[in-house]
Chains A and B, each alone.
Chain A
Amino acid sequence: MNKIIELVNNFALMSLLAVGGGTAVLPEMKHDTVDLHHWVSETQFADIYSLGQLAPGPNMTCVSLIGYEVSGVAGLLAVLIAFFFPACLLCYFVSKIWDAAEGSPWRGAVQRGMAPIVIGLMLAGCYALGKTASYNPSRDWEFNLLTLAIGAAVAVVLSVTRINPALTILAGGAAGYLLLS
């Protein structure tokens, strides 16, 4: 039961801190769940995030799997509710007020001010994931060269084509199967 409470506290806070989307809380979430609480390993965290990319809908539903690792189905449901409910509740009430503040010049100020912060957090998220997924110090340089190349190839392909991103993730899995074993 204590573990469930810890999970709920942690993910409810993440929910309210996820400015600009779930990616913004990735670095903090990884730090808390891997380094602080040891709920999952670094590799598991990267794997769970990747599974989220393969599922439809909001890709952060994958955080529920961290709850499952900690305390089974109860943990899964607790994390799912804790991660989605607080932000939704906040949005429900603030969007009502926001409608009333229509035309306030401060709305633009909040958006322009928050934009670079969100980008900084997203880059930190890339870095936190990449430290395991793209460059794993426990592997040799050839292995790391290949994982870095897979990531770079995906970024380039998505920049120059309009292919569905989920297909590039599947292609990454295929490349892993063919090249990394």
Chain B
Amino acid sequence: MSDRGGRVSLGKIFAVFATIGAVSFGGGIVAYLRRSLVEKEGWLDEDGFMAALEISQTLPGLNSTNMSVIVGRKLRGAAGALVAVLGMVLPGAVAVTALGFAYMALRHDPKVAVILTGVAAAAVGLLLQVTLKIGWKQLVRPADLAFVVVVFVLVGILHVSLVVTLITVAPLAIWMNRPRGVGERA
């Protein structure tokens, strides 16, 4: 990373992440990140990108901001991580604030209300499609499906708190996927 062509300036890191944060409409930020960080800037190679993505997806927090932290840290330490996250978040935060102010001024207009109803209905379809697409790729075993159902019922229907759900279900799920041989050796 940083060994390739010297230190990257903080301004450059901010500019690259702010550009991604400003143009990545409709989700799928990972694709934008890959194009920019691997193909355009050459800050990461393909393996480095996948490794960073792996951590981002496993840790809590948004994939996009976790990626910003990891890449920013690799380039310029804590300061690099900070400017990368700010770059990623600020354009969207400004845009959503502007949209929010417009929404608050206009939400009682019946025309605006039906537009927003249509937008919300479409957002559910988008979320469902993303969920099914990820689920389809990753979940191949019946035990996985059982965990999906249990978590859905606990959190979605019974409103069991997320802390309780994660503390009870996650260790069990990780243990069931433990590396082969570890359990026997212990």
With the chains together, A76 CA to B25 CA distance in Å?
22
In the complex, chain B residues whose CB is within 8 Å of the CB of A22: 62
- Count of chain A residues with Cβ under 8 Å from any Cβ of B? 105
Which of A50, A57, A118, A180 lies in contact with B89, CB distance below 8 A?
Answer: A57
Taking the closest CB of chain A, its distance from the CB of B29, in whole angstroms, is 7
Q: Which of B127, B129, B132, B135 has the most CB of A within 10 A?
A: B127
Which of B21, B68, B93 lies in contact with A64, CB distance below 8 A?
Answer: B93
Task: Kindly state whether residue B50 has any CB partner on chain A within 8 Å.
Answer: no
- The answer to whether B127 and A23 touch across the interface, beta carbons within 8 angstroms, is yes
With the chains together, A123 CA to B147 CA distance in Å?
12
Which of B104, B151, B177 lies in contact with A120, CB distance below 8 A?
Answer: B151
The B interface, classified by DSSP as helix, strand, loop or mixed, is: helix
Taking the closest CB of chain B, its distance from the CB of A158, in whole angstroms, is 4
- The answer to whether A47 and B60 touch across the interface, beta carbons within 8 angstroms, is no
Task: Kindly state whether residue B13 has any CB partner on chain A within 8 Å.
Answer: no
With the chains together, A107 CA to B58 CA distance in Å?
9
Taking the closest CB of chain A, its distance from the CB of B3, in whole angstroms, is 15
In the complex, residue of chain A having the shortest beta-carbon distance to the beta carbon of B175: A113
Which of B54, B57, B177 lies in contact with A113, CB distance below 8 A?
Answer: B177
In the complex, chain A residues whose CB is within 8 Å of the CB of B104: 68
Q: A58-B92, A88-B66 are in contact. Are A129 and B147 (CB under 8 A)?
A: no
Q: Which residues, 23 to 47 on B, are CB-close (under 8 Å) to A?
A: 23-29
- The answer to whether B179 and A106 touch across the interface, beta carbons within 8 angstroms, is yes
Task: Kindly state whether residue B69 has any CB partner on chain A within 8 Å.
Answer: yes
- Count of chain B residues with Cβ under 8 Å from any Cβ of A? 96
With the chains together, A13 CA to B170 CA distance in Å?
17
With the chains together, A20 CA to B177 CA distance in Å?
17
Q: Which residues, 124 to 181 on A, are CB-close (under 8 Å) to B?
A: 124-130, 132-134, 146-148, 150-155, 158-159, 164-177, 179-181
In the complex, residue of chain A having the shortest beta-carbon distance to the beta carbon of B151: A120
Task: Kindly state whether residue A74 has any CB partner on chain B within 8 Å.
Answer: no
- The answer to whether A114 and B119 touch across the interface, beta carbons within 8 angstroms, is no
In the complex, chain A residues whose CB is within 8 Å of the CB of B1: none
With the chains together, A61 CA to B39 CA distance in Å?
27
Q: A19-B166, A165-B28 are in contact. Are A120 and B58 (CB under 8 A)?
A: no
With the chains together, A127 CA to B70 CA distance in Å?
32
Task: Kindly state whether residue A70 has any CB partner on chain B within 8 Å.
Answer: no
Interface string of B143-186 (1 = CB under 8 A from A): 01101111110011101011100100110011111110010000
- The answer to whether B97 and A151 touch across the interface, beta carbons within 8 angstroms, is no
In the complex, chain B residues whose CB is within 8 Å of the CB of A112: 177
- The answer to whether A119 and B135 touch across the interface, beta carbons within 8 angstroms, is yes
In the complex, chain B residues whose CB is within 8 Å of the CB of A148: 121
Task: Kindly state whether residue A16 has any CB partner on chain B within 8 Å.
Answer: yes
Task: Kindly state whether residue A7 has any CB partner on chain B within 8 Å.
Answer: no
In the complex, chain A residues whose CB is within 8 Å of the CB of B179: 105-106, 108-109
With the chains together, A128 CA to B21 CA distance in Å?
27
Given contacts A109-B179, A113-B176, 16 further A-B contacts (CB under 8 A): A53-B26, A57-B95, A59-B27, A64-B93, A64-B100, A88-B85, A91-B70, A117-B169, A121-B151, A123-B148, A133-B120, A151-B122, A169-B123, A172-B122, A177-B114, A181-B110
